[in-house]
Structure formats: structure tokens, C-alpha cells
Amino acid sequence: MKILLDILKAILINICFIGLTLAANSCPAISPNSADDTPVAQSQAIIDDILCSFIEQSRNGDSSFFTTLNIAKKKIIPYIDIEYSTELILGDYWDQLQHKDRKIFERDLRNSLTNEYIYILASIMNWDQINIIVDENYIKKGNIIASVKVTSSIYNESSKAVVTLKMIRKDRWRVYDLIYQSISMVDIEKMSYDSKIGRYGMEEFLRIMLEGT
């Protein structure tokens, strides 16, 4: 099961969340802070801004672990609603946790997203060949939840992939989940955390996460 989860997680985080979401049509990009406050406009601006950063890094020949990690921390993580993702992942456990314990889980998820695939991102050289189309016909539930479809491809290749970004608006639109071929990142993380909590118990697992920081 662990191998399967790791494979699915690698596909979703690296190929979908990074390789698909971080795609742009032109550089320099419009800052997300200057883009319209809609799920589509924010998705495109975030995507373009991140990819342009990776394109510039690649052209400068500076695709190291630390420069890639710096881009991830500045351009990716701020546009993920880690708190809401963690709440969905933990399910019933969330209401049972104190505030400080919730923050431990949030930090663990954030570290997982930033650290586990940095080496893969740093090795990608063809950022300027990635193309993305953000579907303007997004689905909105109320005023704070939206689903946006993005289609990605590599120039001169016929294959395409479609991922759905699940977004929530608090102070701004952020991604809290993604769906690829009916596979949810949140669901995969939930399986992983449920397994660890079941194996160690909540208190012991919190201690393990604290020791790992």
C-alpha cells in the first residue's frame, strides 16, 4: 500500500500539481496580486508566475535544490490553503485536536509538499515547452468554493492531461485539492495519515512529527 500511495502521490504532486499547474503561455507573468479576483484569473496568474520563475531559473543554469526550494516556498505554497486541506485530510480527527496540534499537522503537510519532490523539480529542463489552457467555464459553489479545469501539454507532443483544481476563497483564491483521473490529492493524503495515526496512535504520531521538524 505504501508503494502505491507513494507512486500516486508522486504522479499527483509532481506531474499534476507541479508539471500541469505550473504552466505558462508567456513571460513575464502578471502577478496574482494584480489579476482579477476570479478563480480562472487567479489560476492563470499563479500558474504563469510560477512557471516563469522556473524558466528563468533554468535559463540562468541555476536549477539547484535550494533555488527550486526557494521558488516552491515563495510561488507555490502561498497559493495552497494548507489549513483547509489539512482539515479535509484529517476529517473527524480535526475537531478533536487542539490548535497547536492542528498546526503540527499543517506544518507536516507543508513540508511534505515542499521537500519530497524538490529534486525532481530541479531536474526538469524543459519548462519553456509546457503549455496550459485554463477552462473559463469553471464551477462555483456559493461564493467561496470553485473547481477549475486546466489542460496541459508539451509542445510538439499530442498527449494532453486534464486536472481539476479545487479552490477556496478566504482572503484570496487558493488551491486546496486537485483531481486527476478521479484521484484526489486530499484522499491520498487522508489514506496516508489515517494509516499512520492507526499505527502509532495520535499522541505518538504528533511526537514523531515534532521530532522530525
- The DSSP 8-state label assigned to residue 192 in this structure reads H
> Where along the chain do its domains lie?
2-211
pLDDT digits (tens, 9 = 90+) for 182-193: 888 899 889 999
Instruction: Check: CB of residue 27 under 8 Å from CB of residue 44.
Output: no
2-211: which CATH architecture? Roll (3.10)
Q: How far apart are CA 154 and CA 149, in angstroms?
A: 17
How many alpha carbons fall within 13 Å on the CB side of residue 155? 9
Residue whose entry in the numeric block shows the C-alpha cell 484569473: 41
- This prediction has a pTM of 0.80
Q: How far apart are CA 57 and CA 53, in angstroms?
A: 6
pLDDT digits (tens, 9 = 90+) for 103-159: 999 999 988 877 766 766 776 666 666 677 788 889 999 889 999 998 877 666 667
Distances (CA, A) of 67 to 35, 54, 62, 73, 121: 26, 9, 7, 10, 10
pLDDT digits (tens, 9 = 90+) for 130-140: 677 788 889 99
